[in-house]
Amino acid sequence: MKASKATMTDVARRAGVSAATVARVLYNNGYVKEETRIAVKSAVEATGYRPNMVARGLRTSRSYTLGLVVSESRLNAFHPAVAHFVQMEALRQGYTVLTLNNNADSDMEAAGVRRFLDHHVDAVIFCSARDPRNVRIIAQNGIPTVQVERHIAHVGAVVTVDAHDGMREAVDHLYGLGHRRFAFIGGDVDSSNMEGNLDDAIEAVRERLFRENLARHGIDVPAANMLRAVYYDDSKPVRQPGYHLMRRLLALPERPTAVIFGSDLLAASGLQAISEAGLSVPNDISIIGYDDSMAEILTPALTSIAQPIGELGRLAVTMALAAIENSENAEPAISTVTRLVIRESTATVPNEGSE
Amino acid sequence: MKASKATMTDVARRAGVSAATVARVLYNNGYVKEETRIAVKSAVEATGYRPNMVARGLRTSRSYTLGLVVSESRLNAFHPAVAHFVQMEALRQGYTVLTLNNNADSDMEAAGVRRFLDHHVDAVIFCSARDPRNVRIIAQNGIPTVQVERHIAHVGAVVTVDAHDGMREAVDHLYGLGHRRFAFIGGDVDSSNMEGNLDDAIEAVRERLFRENLARHGIDVPAANMLRAVYYDDSKPVRQPGYHLMRRLLALPERPTAVIFGSDLLAASGLQAISEAGLSVPNDISIIGYDDSMAEILTPALTSIAQPIGELGRLAVTMALAAIENSENAEPAISTVTRLVIRESTATVPNEGSE
DNA sequence: CTGAAAGCGCTAACAC
DNA sequence: GTGTTAGCGCTTTCAG
């Protein structure tokens, strides 16, 4: 019951033409008499012919596959979400995606990237490369790269997210609710794996925007309230990256009443520390996540600064395909925006005397 | 700066031998004089030669790629976790993985599977196919399939999970804590997409084991306490699949004191309903998740019946490769086990009079 | 408008 | 031990 492994020659024979003609009608190249076109089409139907992408790839040196590297896609739901949209869009555009989760391990990533090269992927999308060298290896082989959200290597195309709007909305939202004591738990900037200016790292930018927006309201945040969580420890993802830092905040003499986190995962683990301390969100403390990756299934459902996940995935594919078409063209950058999604983890500041 | 696109012939020329000899030393086939072996090796080094898997694939009709279909890998962390281990193991074994998230959409899945076929994947792993026909299409093309955890089509290899141990441990754990009023919120059995006996569906099995283990303690669970959640609504994932069902349980005249859920995702959304009702876990009610996919980052950290996620992923690859090697051999099945991971969502039953 | 022929990079059977 | 040859399925000149 093996379905046809019908080859192009099979189709050609059946239609009484040559393989070249079959190719012509399949890809609308050159002129074909209407009559033979019909004959070929029906032969294709009859045989259930499907092009062999491997043979095609060898001949055209286009594999119609994209490589996708995601990082830490187990606890952090952001990356699998982006991956999903990349896969959907690629499918729609006639591509297939080779996916690899680097799990925060540079060596793993290097091995995977090498493998992508062996399979002659047409482009590689990184939704957070772990090591800039791995991006460069691809680029050096003349293959387009697209870095999504976080770009740690200064090569190829990038799809960035402008954090301004979301952070402004978040700060204004909290300020409007009466909060005056703020804290921020962001991600650590991994200087060893970042090319160029560390201040351009997205984690650093988010911190800065947080401060700037509060400064607008005349609020200065003490250094003790600005913390950075390590997501990876010795190439292993940290399971509850926000837990200990949140405990530290809770132990502060002037406990903050509002905390913005650098990811929903960070907020989720912060929530554990808050609950453990016998405090409640949002009654005692308001918190805001980032990403909007798992905000809606936490308790309470998190107010979160949403990244445009679907757009990121789709744009990454679009840019990859554009780079494949005319690789000599400039390496473009495109930016998307964030917005605040308000749910149940933010409320009016608790009464001062109640402590 | 393009790194070498050195071909095998380039290496051969440089080493002063023929391509055939290069192949021989690369794959340890046949005898090669030590002297020439060294010459070839150094030529490989010098050129940075990497085999072209596309050409190799065409010649050998082995693409060294695996297809992987996962379902709903956005909110439910179970699938991306399995995917991660599949990718790791495949990488280790010299394979690369084409991944597709069907997102509960049969048509999407069909399109993706078709694409896998076009790319001549050597085998396809389904960590929950959406539609059995899509598994059959692969099988009909003579390509091995492996269904992981849930198997909805009666073809090919399967990696199942034996739910016995975990469910027994879970029930005993709760019973030991004094609980006598139980409830279960499992997943709905989608009869339209299931070949064969519906009672064999993993959701049905879990329900049955739940009842049987309680019967062992002389406890009979009323029908009103056995609920089934729909994960997909009109081919779209439901965002809070356990929320409404949990509300229903809370409205029961004899409210259960312990609930076992069919997944961590279900438990997470159940938690939202509990909290909304002003009740607390585990003081007022104990809950247990299933999968152990996101249990540890919820508040409270969930006691959960853990699926052996890493093992599932690795076994799936192992079985796929075995099937590729000798495809005429019988289609095997292998089973793994579950175990209870105790965290903070379970505690002694609350005092009866306290309601 | 259509067919013949070459060749992408590799492997496997067969010579020597 | 090693080279020669043919061909996987497709695309693309080049003839006609």
Which of A100, A108, A275 is nearest residue B300 as measured by Cβ atoms? A275
Taking the mean position of all CA atoms in its chain, how far away is CA A243? 24
Using a 10 angstrom Cβ sphere, with 0-12 exposed, 13-18 middle and 19 or more buried, the burial of residue B318 is middle
* Mean pLDDT in residue range B259-284: 96
CA of residue A61 to C1' of nucleotide C7, angstroms:
13
Residue B167 CA to residue B340 CA, distance in Å, equals 8
pLDDT number for residue A215: 98
DSSP assignment of B233-293 equals ETTEE-SSTTHHHHHHHHTSSS--SEEEESSHHHHHHHHHHHHHTT--TTTT-EEEEEE-S
B342 in a structural domain: no
Torsion, Cα of B99, B101, B106, B111 (10° steps): -40
pLDDT number for residue B30: 79
Q: Which residues of B touch A53 (CB under 8 A)?
A: 118-120
Closest CA to B183 of B238, B229, B149: B229
Condensed to tens digits (0 to 9), the pLDDT of residues B144-185 reads 999 999 999 999 999 999 999 999 999 999 999 999 999 999
- Specify whether A124 is located in the same domain as A152: yes
CATH code of the domain in which A133 resides: 3.40.50.2300
Which tokens in the block code for residue A66?
């994209």
pLDDT number for residue A242: 93
Structural domain boundaries enclosing A123: 63-161+309-337
Three-state secondary structure readout of chain A: CCCCCCCHHHHHHHHCCCHHHHHHHHHCCCCCCHHHHHHHHHHHHHHCCCCCHHHHHHHHCCCCEEEEEECCCCCCCHHHHHHHHHHHHHHHCCCEEEEEECCCCHHHHHHHHHHHHHCCCCEEEEECCCCHHHHHHHHHCCCCEEEECCCCCCCCEEEEEECHHHHHHHHHHHHHCCCCCEEEEEECCCHHHCCCCHHHCHHHHHHHHHHHHHHHCCCCCCHHHEEEECCEECCEECCCCCHHHHHHHHCCCCCCCEEEECCHHHHHHHHHHHHHCCCCCCCCCEEEEEECCCHHHCCCCCEEEECCHHHHHHHHHHHHHHHHHCCCCCCCEEEEECEEECCCCCCCCCCHHHC
Chain A: nearest CA to B218, how far in angstroms?
34
Eight-state DSSP code of residue B89: H
* Mean pLDDT in residue range A107-123: 96
- Specify whether A303 is located in the same domain as A171: yes
Q: Which residues of A touch B51 (CB under 8 A)?
A: 118
Give percent above pLDDT 70 in chain A: 96
A353 in a structural domain: no
- Specify whether B96 is located in the same domain as B152: yes
The per-residue pLDDT of chain B, averaged, comes to 93
Cβ of A53 near strand C (distance < 7 A): no
> A14, A36 in Cβ contact below 8 A?
no
Which tokens in the block code for residue B40?
């070839």
Condensed to tens digits (0 to 9), the pLDDT of residues B9-45 reads 999 999 999 999 999 999 888 788 999 999 999 999 9
> A189, A201 in Cβ contact below 8 A?
yes
* Mean pLDDT in residue range A319-333: 85
* Mean pLDDT in residue range A109-132: 96
Token pair 């200990």 is found at A244
Q: Do A87 and B80 touch (CB under 8 A)?
A: no
Which tokens in the block code for residue A128?
């957070």
CB pairs under 8 A between A and B: 177
Determine the residue of chain B that is closest to A5 in CA distance: B141
- Specify whether A325 is located in the same domain as A219: no
Produce one character per residue of B76-90: b if its CB has 16 or more CB atoms within 10 Å, e if not. Answer: bbbbbbbbbbbbbbb
B132 in a structural domain: yes
- Specify whether A187 is located in the same domain as A225: yes
Q: Which residue is nearest to nucleotide D12 (CA to C1')?
A: A20
Measured between CB atoms, does B141 come within 8 Å of chain A?
yes
- Specify whether A120 is located in the same domain as A248: no
Condensed to tens digits (0 to 9), the pLDDT of residues A52-80 reads 999 999 999 999 999 999 997 677 889 99
Residue A229 CA to residue A186 CA, distance in Å, equals 6
- Specify whether B188 is located in the same domain as B148: no
- The pLDDT-based confidence of A4 (bands split at 50, 70, 90) is low
Measured between CB atoms, does A301 come within 8 Å of chain B?
yes
pLDDT number for residue B354: 47
> B214, B226 in Cβ contact below 8 A?
no
Is a pLDDT exceeding 80 seen at residue B318?
yes
pLDDT number for residue B2: 45
- Specify whether B28 is located in the same domain as B105: no
Residue B96 CA to residue B73 CA, distance in Å, equals 19
- Specify whether A318 is located in the same domain as A285: no
Cβ of B118 near strand D (distance < 7 A): no
Q: Which residues of B touch A120 (CB under 8 A)?
A: 52-54
Condensed to tens digits (0 to 9), the pLDDT of residues A82-99 reads 999 999 999 999 999 999
Measured between CB atoms, does B114 come within 8 Å of chain A?
yes
A187 in a structural domain: yes
Prior bond of B308 cis (ω within 30°): no
Closest CA to B310 of B144, B164, B148: B148
A282 in a structural domain: yes
- Specify whether B78 is located in the same domain as B16: no
Is a pLDDT exceeding 90 seen at residue A279?
yes
Determine the residue of chain A that is closest to B92 in CA distance: A111
Q: Which of residues 60-79 of A touch strand D (CB under 7 A)?
A: 60
pLDDT number for residue B117: 96
- Specify whether B147 is located in the same domain as B186: no
Q: Which of residues 22-81 of B touch strand D (CB under 7 A)?
A: 24, 30-33, 35-37, 58-59, 61
A39 in a structural domain: yes
pLDDT number for residue A234: 72
How many alpha carbons lie under 13 Å from residue A90 in its C-beta half-sphere? 34
pLDDT number for residue B326: 80
Measured between CB atoms, does B120 come within 8 Å of chain A?
yes
Position B329, amino acid: N
Residue B122 CA to residue B10 CA, distance in Å, equals 29
DSSP assignment of B69-87 equals EES-TTT-THHHHHHHHHH
Q: Which residues of A touch B64 (CB under 8 A)?
A: 119
What radius of gyration do chain B's Cα atoms show?
25
- Specify whether B87 is located in the same domain as B184: no
Residue B184 CA to residue B225 CA, distance in Å, equals 6
B346 in a structural domain: no
**3-state SS class at B231:** coil
Residue B241 CA to residue B104 CA, distance in Å, equals 14
Number of structural domains (chain B) is 3
Position A151, amino acid: H
Q: Which of A49, A54, A107 to mutate to test the interface with B (most CBs of B within 10 A)?
A: A54
Residue A249 CA to residue A253 CA, distance in Å, equals 9
- The pLDDT-based confidence of B330 (bands split at 50, 70, 90) is low
Cβ of B117 near strand D (distance < 7 A): no
Angle value at C-alpha A134, between A140 and A307, nearest 5 degrees: 115
Residue B41 CA to residue B39 CA, distance in Å, equals 5
Closest CA to A90 of B108, B314, B74, B200: B108
A56 in a structural domain: no
Nearest nucleotide (CA of B18 to C1'): D3
Which of B2, B55, B74 is nearest residue A84 as measured by Cβ atoms? B74
Measured between CB atoms, does B177 come within 8 Å of chain A?
no
Task: Name residues whose C-beta falls within 8 Å of residue B13's C-beta, 6 or more positions apart in sequence.
Answer: none
Q: Do B301 and A272 touch (CB under 8 A)?
A: yes
End-to-end CA distance of chain B, in Å?
75
> A23, A44 in Cβ contact below 8 A?
no
Q: Do A275 and B115 touch (CB under 8 A)?
A: no
Chain A: nearest CA to B116, how far in angstroms?
8
Measured between CB atoms, does A263 come within 8 Å of chain B?
no
Nucleotides of C strand lying within 7 Å of any protein CB atom: 1-5, 7-13
Closest CA to B337 of B88, B169, B173, B203: B169
CATH code of the domain in which A23 resides: 1.10.260.40
CA of residue B8 to C1' of nucleotide D2, angstroms:
16
pLDDT number for residue B73: 64
Q: Which of residues 215-234 of A touch strand D (CB under 7 A)?
A: none
* Mean pLDDT in residue range B234-258: 91
What radius of gyration do chain A's Cα atoms show?
25
